[in-house]
Amino acid sequence: MSMHVERWERYFLYASVAVLVAFFIAILASIGEAGIHLPTDEAQVDPNVVVTQAPFDNPGLFETGDNQYEAVMVARMWQWTPDEIVVPEGAEVTFTITSPDVIHGFLVNNTAINAMVIPGQITKVTQTFDEPGEYKFVCHEFCGLANEQVGHHSMFGKVVVE
Ligand code: CUA
């Protein structure tokens, strides 16, 4: 039995398959080229003890290379530790952040940084600061326990690029 398919119907069938193939290639490219993936066990920690263990038992700024730094930070109700980070112009800073209590958000003004900080997970984001100045950061998640988010608005700090 042979089935007759109209010419235009056939073209649209081809186009539909082409779109699916293109999307599948885009997914593969996002994994292979851009390294985008779901959270893995690698970044899981126990929020009850994480601040007693390295590196979070000693938060601060650490030089890791030529004008490269790691900022180890703890987000908790309702402060960032540290809440001021000073680096030279052009510094590449990897922020390594965790939370021992509730979900916080890390947003740095005038950068692309906008990340969640989730208890039990380690958040890592990297940014190069080419322009000198002050980059204020805030917690952008309305954080706290039920009906007690009184300190959320005071959870801010800054990166100073000299
Ligand atoms: Cu932490 Cu809002």
- Summarised one tens digit per residue, pLDDT across range 85-96 is 999 999 999 999
| Single pTM value for the model | 0.78
Q: How far apart are the first and last CA of the chain?
A: 77
* Per-residue pLDDT tens digits for 7-57: 999 999 999 999 999 999 999 999 888 888 776 677 789 999 999 999 999
Ligand 1 in contact with 139 (CB < 6 A)? yes
Determine the Cα–Cα distance for residues 158 and 82; give it in Å rounded to an integer: 9
Ligand 1: nearest atom to the Cα of 142: 2
pLDDT at site 94? 97
Per-residue pLDDT band at 1 (split at 50, 70, 90): low
With a 6 Å cutoff on the Cβ, whether 155 touches ligand 1 is yes
Q: How far is the CA of 106 from the centre of ligand 1 (A)?
A: 8
Check if 117 has its Cβ closer than 6 Å to any atom of ligand 1.
no
